[in-house]
Structure 1
């Protein structure tokens, strides 16, 4: 299918782009990314067969290194422990050449291709010059050893990249190729890309949904881990939105398709994650630029180490100083930096994806690490965005009758507050007689239920009909629905947008890492302050229009603070675009907001804001640890090499050893729990 090819190219590019000079290949036999990601899982292959195939691929990757290692070990045994009369002269040289070629040929080829493209000072060039130079001065074993360890290091680097991509691959595995479409009494399996909006899909227990849709069945339970990172089952009712990638956990369900295959939330998530790997962080870009300057400098320094001493050293021996220069070249190879740093950011993006957070580029990991102020929208971000009855108080009547009368008359209304009461009452019209219902604009509703006159509305409605009620209700910031039966105050309903379960924990977590929190909302100031007080938010501003929010965030940015804004609605898109880091709630969020955002929280949990900041900080910490490790070890061994105190073995450690240590450090973030 077309989308598979697109994903494959994109992800292979992400892998290969970890070092600019490796765009063609790390080694020809490796094809840069080992296997094509889209060939796995989508075609329904047996997992045991896939595991066996993967082991075979790994063996094939290491086969050239194994051959080289065997020839090298035999040569060292003949040279040092079991001398052979025939193992000398051109036969000995040829033996070492045979040991060198399995691991060295592809590097020599890549060096030649880089030079043809104008990139003379690549790491391939450095390794080629150093190892060929070692052959030139008779250090055959060391020449082969350097190239062998370099090749093994490259393979481990590539396997680390594959490990870092496992979270993205698991996302790809969540999107089925086909869907079972109902046509009358028959069910036809179709390609998901060919299913049109309005068609009805049959989803059996254990199956994954291929397209976004609306549940037609009365009830269903789904595993939403592909989209949210959460394994907790999510129960849905008739009319609820169901997203591609969700897995049906109970009886057969019917879903009406509402979005084209390429426009589903999961498809967009995949695109965002793949695009994220191509967007470089400032540190990453700096290292790339640095390597382009650094590498030519060390080449010229190596030439100087070889030739300049002849001007002032009395017992100058060209072969000895050339050996020092070659050691210098091996040590100077920048692969520890150029590989491990992008891998660190790649790992950060993968760790975030695993936790249900999508970073649209590694640069936003750096930004989140520096955030000082988090500005949050209220509705849909800190609250659930759904009105519900929080409290019922009955006066002179049973609570059951108050709820029944109110729900009966609200069933004739279209107001969203009325819907909350009907849902709370679980109201079904069981021969209840409702007559003469009248909407009183801006006040409420009037009518008769089983012959009783019912007034339902705001306190203003009570004032309009001169009905005495508890005046303390006027001071409550939440929505109050007052009820009068037969001109007598009979109680009230407190209706509010329910605060998310983890909202308070989210604010507390941010405060623990010294991040200030501010809430902006279009709701009335009293309500906003009440929510802010309950959650312990530092500052809160209500009665704001979208342009007012922009003005507020601009003022925060002018204070030179690093600002993250978190929102979900269309009206939040301008502010999300303005902030240093725009964060969208991906479940409830509008498409415009998600498209504009730099970071998307898939499960709408406010605590993920803290997780995103934590991942950003850990990623930056690991990146700078690698920079410090690489520079300190290389500088030390460079000095020793130039002074003749380090051999090619120390050079191998300073290059490949440090690179492997940095890589192991970089992939730690994928194993961390956030």
Structure 2
């Protein structure tokens, strides 16, 4: 998966900010999995345990002292406000906002990052003091500090929103033991224990429903508030809310291994996988910042050799203005924040992006390749018909169901359900799963083959040729090398599958379906959904081959699947998308994007969010470059003051931040 892993970016975090790193989006109980992910360009903008008032207190102190000083300078002159008293007043006004930045510039220099934005601000403001421009020196640092605080609030808000959306697990669960209940910490609950879940309570761990049925609100996992009714034996997940009767759930997964825990880790890890735009801006800033420092020195020194009436103070002032304007914080802050907003917006819609790089990829997707079963169809197979050949129907059902008890495929589940427990007294041994074909094993001493036509042909079993033309899923059975009958099994197309394909066609995205199912079945589904191309009778390696062929045409490809067999193709595609509800753990782990509610219509939503995120990011880049270029020219020519410089730096950064967080308010 080189296209995924080579874009990871490790950056250093300022030492004095690490102490307050308590507000990460995934600050959950699994502390051993906690990572220090950065908000932008290595700077952590979490506000920790500080309140908003505490965060802004230094800026408020500086602002009050600055306003008083400006009034004493210009509107209510006082004889005592002169000389060293005036200078000290401005120094005291400068220190609350200046000390953290000065300290950070030293820390950055120690870490080898000499040309940081903190150093630019330090030089510019100290230089302003050096030439007697005290109010402007304080004002530049004050507005910079306010901008940084707003950035901290914006990042923390984005992280908090995602945390609230995802981490819905209660701290405690009610365990039922010997008819009595007791409350224990969810992380201490063990597999096999039974949870009693009252109406309105959230489930703390993944489990199997023991009650006959129960209705749940699954919004925490899927982004959909529509109630979902589960029946006895079905899986229920942490974060679901019980809506009606008291339910009992047997724990099947430890707290730290629940699907929701994995989702939280995915979102946490998402910030480490940077989009190419982010990586470019970081590289750009490393070249750009020293360049403007040397340019500022040139602006101050070179005119001495070419200007007749050279005044050092004037040219130093222009150089300092140039430095303030050149600070790249609008870019290095707003761009990662824009991508983080995109990840948050996707989470709100039940879609998990494992990194901002995949937002960019989804924005440029040209072909969506989909599996059939579990992706476009519900994956809930029902046996519609059983046909036998020289064997009793009950024996065929029992033998096949006994063999299928070791299968994870939905078709096997359908046969077991159809057998209704009649296979439990029959022992199946030596079971072997043949990928893309079916199962082989022994039942009551008989060799049983159960699978598709490829399995029959592999073992030279003769069967009626008309079976190959049936546009439904057929599981054929051979006992002791002799064809014994088949099960006709039908799957159901998902309600929103047709709309999903229509939406993709509207944005000129080509659709392709790949399936291991019979070509006749695949063609029938493709025709009903209006899919551009469809291929059936494919083994896992055939799916890989088809996707590889598409990649040779220089097309951006997303593959959507849910089964273990789909994991290799998901890894191969530019963007691998897993169906998170029905999907296997291997597929979800391999995927770059996880659709939590298994709705194919979310593929279009993911592309739409990617496009909108990219649009906002480039709006911010354009805004920052245009405004800075104009004010840089004015500053170098002596037509812009420190006040214009402050707007070009902090003002543009704030506008870009407001634009970046806008995506979290959008409806998709």
- Give the TM-score, by structure 2 length: 0.82
Instruction: State whether structure 2 residue 107 is matched by structure 1 residue 113.
Output: yes
Instruction: State whether structure 2 residue 119 is matched by structure 1 residue 125.
Output: yes
Which residue in 2 is equivalent to 1:354? 348
Which residue in 2 is equivalent to 1:237? 231
Instruction: State whether structure 2 residue 635 is matched by structure 1 residue 641.
Output: yes
Would the aligned equivalents of 2:165 and 2:348 in 1 still touch at CA under 8 Å?
Answer: no
Report matched runs for 1:575-654 at 5 Å.
Answer: 575-654=569-648
Which residue in 2 is equivalent to 1:490? none
Deviation of the 1:65 alpha carbon: 0.9
Instruction: State whether structure 2 residue 36 is matched by structure 1 residue 13.
Output: yes
Deviation of the 1:5 alpha carbon: 6.6
Residue 662 (structure 1) aligned to one of 636, 656, 659: 656
Would the aligned equivalents of 2:501 and 2:531 in 1 still touch at CA under 8 Å?
Answer: yes
Going from structure 1 to structure 2, the CA distance change for 1:11 and 1:87 (only over 3 Å counts) comes to farther
Instruction: State whether structure 2 residue 35 is matched by structure 1 residue 35.
Output: no
Deviation of the 1:480 alpha carbon: 8.6
Residue 144 (structure 1) aligned to one of 138, 161, 170: 138
Q: For structure 1, which segment, 167-176 or 240-249, has the greater mean C-alpha deviation from structure 2 after superposition? A: 167-176
Which residue in 2 is equivalent to 1:263? 257
DSSP 3-state at the match of 1:314: coil
Q: In structure 1, how many angstroms separate the alpha carbons of the residues matched to 2:228 and 2:356?
A: 31
Per-residue Cα deviation, 1:197-227 (whole angstroms, up to 9, x for no partner) = 1111111122111111101111111111111
Would the aligned equivalents of 1:410 and 1:422 in 2 still touch at CA under 8 Å?
Answer: no
Deviation of the 1:418 alpha carbon: 11
Going from structure 1 to structure 2, the CA distance change for 1:8 and 1:627 (only over 3 Å counts) comes to farther
Per-residue Cα deviation, 1:113-132 (whole angstroms, up to 9, x for no partner) = 11222211111100011011
Q: For structure 1, which segment, 193-202 or 342-351, has the greater mean C-alpha deviation from structure 2 after superposition? A: 193-202
**Greater Rg over alpha carbons, structure:** 1
DSSP 3-state at the match of 1:251: coil
RMSD: 2.9
Residue 171 (structure 2) aligned to one of 177, 182, 185: 177
Which residue in 2 is equivalent to 1:324? 318
Per-residue Cα deviation, 1:426-484 (whole angstroms, up to 9, x for no partner) = 9999xxxxxxxxxxxx9xxxxxxxxxxxxxxx9xxxxxxxxxxxx99996512599xxx
Deviation of the 1:19 alpha carbon: 2.3
Q: In structure 1, how many angstroms separate the alpha carbons of the residues matched to 2:34 and 2:140?
A: 31
Which residue in 2 is equivalent to 1:79? 73
Would the aligned equivalents of 2:166 and 2:220 in 1 still touch at CA under 8 Å?
Answer: no
Which residue in 1 is equivalent to 2:240? 246
Instruction: State whether structure 2 residue 362 is matched by structure 1 residue 368.
Output: yes
Report matched runs for 1:215-614 at 5 Å.
Answer: 215-388=209-382, 477-478=471-472, 496-614=490-608
Deviation of the 1:625 alpha carbon: 1.0
Would the aligned equivalents of 1:407 and 1:418 in 2 still touch at CA under 8 Å?
Answer: no
DSSP 3-state at the match of 1:182: strand
Per-residue Cα deviation, 1:325-363 (whole angstroms, up to 9, x for no partner) = 000000000000000010011111111111111111111
Q: In structure 2, how many angstroms separate the alpha carbons of the residues matched to 1:382 and 1:5?
A: 34
Would the aligned equivalents of 2:216 and 2:227 in 1 still touch at CA under 8 Å?
Answer: yes
Going from structure 1 to structure 2, the CA distance change for 1:545 and 1:474 (only over 3 Å counts) comes to closer
Q: In structure 1, how many angstroms separate the alpha carbons of the residues matched to 2:229 and 2:653?
A: 48
Deviation of the 1:388 alpha carbon: 3.8
Per-residue Cα deviation, 1:377-401 (whole angstroms, up to 9, x for no partner) = 0000000011247899xxxxxxxxx
Q: In structure 1, how many angstroms separate the alpha carbons of the residues matched to 2:135 and 2:636?
A: 21
Per-residue Cα deviation, 1:38-65 (whole angstroms, up to 9, x for no partner) = xxxxxxxxxxxxxxxxxx8111111111
Would the aligned equivalents of 2:581 and 2:597 in 1 still touch at CA under 8 Å?
Answer: yes
Deviation of the 1:176 alpha carbon: 2.1
Would the aligned equivalents of 1:407 and 1:427 in 2 still touch at CA under 8 Å?
Answer: no
Per-residue Cα deviation, 1:516-567 (whole angstroms, up to 9, x for no partner) = 0000011111111110000000000011111111111111111111111100
Q: In structure 2, how many angstroms separate the alpha carbons of the residues matched to 1:172 and 1:240?
A: 22
Going from structure 1 to structure 2, the CA distance change for 1:11 and 1:163 (only over 3 Å counts) comes to farther
Would the aligned equivalents of 2:30 and 2:256 in 1 still touch at CA under 8 Å?
Answer: no
Would the aligned equivalents of 2:580 and 2:597 in 1 still touch at CA under 8 Å?
Answer: yes
Q: In structure 2, how many angstroms separate the alpha carbons of the residues matched to 1:616 and 1:664?
A: 18
Per-residue Cα deviation, 1:8-59 (whole angstroms, up to 9, x for no partner) = 7977833x44122x35xxxxxxxx41235xxxxxxxxxxxxxxxxxxx8111
Deviation of the 1:191 alpha carbon: 2.0
Residue 191 (structure 1) aligned to one of 185, 199, 217: 185
DSSP 3-state at the match of 1:254: strand
Q: For structure 1, which segment, 320-329 or 261-270, has the greater mean C-alpha deviation from structure 2 after superposition? A: 261-270
Q: In structure 1, how many angstroms separate the alpha carbons of the residues matched to 2:126 and 2:644?
A: 18
Going from structure 1 to structure 2, the CA distance change for 1:319 and 1:9 (only over 3 Å counts) comes to farther
DSSP 3-state at the match of 2:46: coil
Q: In structure 1, how many angstroms separate the alpha carbons of the residues matched to 2:80 and 2:32?
A: 51
Q: In structure 2, how many angstroms separate the alpha carbons of the residues matched to 1:368 and 1:519?
A: 18
Deviation of the 1:255 alpha carbon: 0.8
The count of aligned residue pairs is 580
DSSP 3-state at the match of 2:298: helix
DSSP 3-state at the match of 1:181: strand
Going from structure 1 to structure 2, the CA distance change for 1:671 and 1:185 (only over 3 Å counts) comes to same
Would the aligned equivalents of 1:407 and 1:421 in 2 still touch at CA under 8 Å?
Answer: no
Going from structure 1 to structure 2, the CA distance change for 1:353 and 1:475 (only over 3 Å counts) comes to same
DSSP 3-state at the match of 1:499: coil
Which residue in 2 is equivalent to 1:102? 96
Deviation of the 1:169 alpha carbon: 1.4
Per-residue Cα deviation, 1:572-616 (whole angstroms, up to 9, x for no partner) = 111111111110000000000001111110000001101111111
Q: In structure 2, how many angstroms separate the alpha carbons of the residues matched to 1:129 and 1:657?
A: 20
Per-residue Cα deviation, 1:486-522 (whole angstroms, up to 9, x for no partner) = xxxxxxx985200000000000000000000000011
Q: In structure 1, how many angstroms separate the alpha carbons of the residues matched to 2:642 and 2:620?
A: 23
DSSP 3-state at the match of 2:183: strand
